[in-house]
Amino acid sequence: MRFIVTPEFSEKVSSLSRDGISAISTIANFISETDRNSLTQGNRGIEVRSLTGDIVVINYSPYRLFASFGSDSEGEYLLLMDVSIEASQVSTIGGFFATKDPRRNQMFDPNRNMTIDPRRNMTIDPNRNMTIDPRRNRYYGGPYIYNTQLKQVGFLVRANENVSLIFDMSARFISYIVSTGSGNLNIFDISGAWIGFLVPTQNEVLLHFDAAARWIGIII
């Protein structure tokens, strides 16, 4: 099967260790030698899991590839969007958070930047600004957070172009999202600890993963 890669995927792979690059090559060879139906069955120690719609996760421990099926004038292809590794291996990818790590840059930390802190800025606090409170504004269209059973468990409020705030369905501020600048987004709890990440898809859905790269829901 034909595959193409995103610039973000290429950047991540280029920073992997030699063993990591070898593992990605094994996965690439597997993809190129199979079709869509056979690919979803996995092979050679490679596990393929369908998430939702055309999104799949290709597991070749300790590496996980996030990919999406698509088609163009040349036929069907698999778009390789991102690669992650198990927590014990994370240190092999250098500069994971770059300059947009709230633990290092106060511009992205609500605890040190009041303009993105709903506790000090009422314009981004749904408890004090009813226009962004879905409990009081029925026309608030989201984005909403759903678990894997598609139950609404929270909603987002945009603080600025780089940071969005996550509230539970009681409008309690529980975490926030910081853009990586390369398309993906990292999630931190209000103490600044990294707790997960989001992977964009081609249909405006964000796939929600925890820090162990387990898929736990979507945001749309």
Residue whose tokens read 């945001």 = 219
Q: Which two tokens stand for residue 79?
A: 């778009």
Largest interatomic CA distance in the chain: 57
Cβ-contact 160, 167 below 8 angstroms: no
Strand, coil or helix: what is 203? coil
Q: Which residues of 62-99 are buried (b: 16+ CB within 10 A; e: fewer)?
A: bbbbbbbbeeeeeeebbbbbbbbbeeebeeebeebbee
pLDDT at residue 84 is higher than 90 = no
How confident is the model at residue 52, as a pLDDT? 60
Residue-wise pLDDT for 106-120, tens only, equals 888 898 999 999 999
The per-residue pLDDT of the chain, averaged, comes to 84
Return the beta strands (E) in the chain as ranges: 3-5, 47-52, 55-60, 63-72, 75-85, 144-147, 152-158, 163-168, 173-179, 185-189, 194-200, 206-210, 215-219
How confident is the model at residue 11, as a pLDDT? 78
The percentage of residues in the chain with a pLDDT greater than 70, rounded to a whole number, is: 89
The span from the CA of 170 to the CA of 153, in Å, is: 9
The sheet with strand 47-52 has its strands ordered as: 3-5, 75-85, 63-72, 55-60, 47-52
Per-residue pLDDT averaged across 169-179, rounded? 94
pLDDT at residue 155 is higher than 80 = yes
CATH number assigned to the domain covering 3-92 = 3.30.2310.20
pLDDT at residue 131 is higher than 90 = yes
Going from N- to C-terminal start, the domains of the chain cover 3-92, 106-219
Number of alpha carbons in the 13 Å side-chain half-sphere of residue 44 = 14
